[in-house]
Amino acid sequence: MKAWYFSSEDRRLRHGDGREIRIGETHAVSGDIKLCSHGLHASKKLIDAITYAPGPIVYRVELSGKVEEGVGKVVAQKRTYLSGGIDVSETLRKFARMCALDVVDMWEAPDIVIQYLKAGDKSIRDAAYGATLATARNDTWDAASTVARDAALAAALDATSAAAWSSARAVARAAAPDAVWNAALDPAPDAACDAALDEARRKQNKRLTSMITRAIREHTLED
């Protein structure tokens, strides 16, 4: 099974394992595997993988041996690193900005926020973040505008050590249209809401996969 996996900048396995991750290498574990407890994890979709990412180093992997699937992630006895091993912090930040732009018309975003989301100019990132916070303090609460503003906040974070997390948060807030997020406030959302949210996430996953795949390919060509 092909999947996606993120590591921290040290490119080593976590939780006391410490083995180095190298392209072409296969890691394996002994004993019975169990989701979230024992085994080598990954996600079939990038949109899910960034939710669990401890850092911005991405790998395309193949899972083999015994495999157990859960919601958004998979655990296996063996994990082979096929490609990647690159820092995609900037790609994830760009993705977060694109997510925020998808819903920027849901709130009265200050000009500097829109400017940052479009250009990604690091020199104005702090100002964009501050302007977004100021707007949040001054506006009355509204589900749609809060969702869109939260996406902008995540995109404007100085996420050097947490790029994957901030991008995932932006996706979670920005992927769905206004109607979905209002319905999501209902403790028992209907099937139409679930379907709309799934479709929004599918589109965002397609975008992210294209961006990450291109980044890996360009890195490979440079090497």
pLDDT over 90 for what percent of the chain? 48
| Range with the poorest average pLDDT among 80-84, 97-101, 144-148, 177-181 | 177-181
Q: For the purposes of burial, counting CB atoms within 10 Å of the CB of 163, is it exposed (0-12), middle (13-18) or buried (19 or more)? A: buried
Which position has the higher pLDDT, 6 or 223?
6
| Tokens (6 digits) for 87 | 């820092």
Average pLDDT over residues 51-60: 91
pLDDT for the residue 152: 80
Give the number of other CB atoms < 10 A from CB of residue 101. 18
pLDDT for the residue 153: 78
Average pLDDT over residues 115-142: 84
pLDDT over 70 for what percent of the chain? 78
| 94 CB-near residues (< 8 Å, 6+ apart) | 120, 211
State yes or no: pLDDT of 59 exceeds 50: yes
SS3 53: coil
- The per-residue pLDDT of the chain, averaged, comes to 83
Residue 180 binned pLDDT confidence (cut-offs 50, 70, 90): very low
Query: How far is Cα 176 from Cα 203, in angstroms, rounded to an integer?
Result: 10
State yes or no: pLDDT of 162 exceeds 60: no
Query: How far is Cα 189 from Cα 16, in angstroms, rounded to an integer?
Result: 41
SS3 187: coil
- How far apart, in Å, are the Cα atoms of 54 and each of 10, 57, 62, 80, 90? 11, 9, 19, 19, 16
Domain range list for the chain: 2-87, 90-216
pLDDT for the residue 218: 93
Residues counted in the chain? 223
Task: Give the pLDDT confidence of 77-92 residue by residue, as tens digits.
Answer: 999 999 999 999 889 8
DSSP characters over 56-114: SEEEEEEEEEEEEE-SS-EEEEEEEEEEEEEE-HHHHHHHHHHHHHHTGGGTT--HHHH
| Tokens (6 digits) for 88 | 């995609």
| 1 CB-near residues (< 8 Å, 6+ apart) | 44, 62, 63, 64, 67, 74, 76
pTM score over 0.75:
yes
